[in-house]
Amino acid sequence: MPVQWHYHDWAANGDPEDPDFYRVHFNVGLSYSRLLNYQDDSDDLGAGITAALPDLNKNGFCFLIGASFYATQHVAFTVRYHRAINRLYSPGKPGTNYAYSLNEHFLAFQTMYVF
């Protein structure tokens, strides 16, 4: 569930007072996520993390930053970077089973068509 602030620049027709559309959009924001109904399907192979599942943090908070380039008024290409503020799993707690932490971060690529 992201909350974002968008800034647009570079009027396509060169007139910022009366643009047809803006070619570049930048965005920054925060997002909240929650793990729902998770399980470890790889435990049959003996390499799973079932023992650590009770220690997972079910709530995630991320910041994000991205940019969109509008090739036309309707077609855009977006890249966005997400990085977690809190860890999904933190080692070192009493009774934890794994030595490595889990920290969410990823790049998202998107192609959009705006009606």
Across the chain, which has 115 residues, the per-10-residue mean pLDDT values are: 83 71 91 79 60 75 93 91 85 62 87 91
Q: Residue 26 has what pLDDT?
A: 94
- CB-based contact 62:93 (threshold 8 Å): no
Decide if 80 is inside a domain: yes
Domain containing 88 equals 2-36+47-113
Q: Which residues pair with 70 in a beta bridge?
A: 76
Q: Residue 72 has what pLDDT?
A: 87
Q: Residue 114 has what pLDDT?
A: 85
Q: Which two tokens stand for residue 18?
A: 């009366």
Q: What backbone torsions phi and psi does residue 5 show, to the nearest 5 degrees?
A: -115, 130
Residue with tokens 């030595």: 99
**pTM of the entire predicted model:** 0.70
Decide if 41 is inside a domain: no
Decide if 42 is inside a domain: no
Q: Residue 42 has what pLDDT?
A: 63
Q: Residue 112 has what pLDDT?
A: 92
Q: Residue 45 has what pLDDT?
A: 56
Q: Residue 10 has what pLDDT?
A: 78
Angle, CA 101 vertex, CA 98 and CA 105 arms, to 5°: 145
Count structural domains, the chain.
1
Decide if 12 is inside a domain: yes
Sign of CA dihedral 20, 26, 30, 31: positive
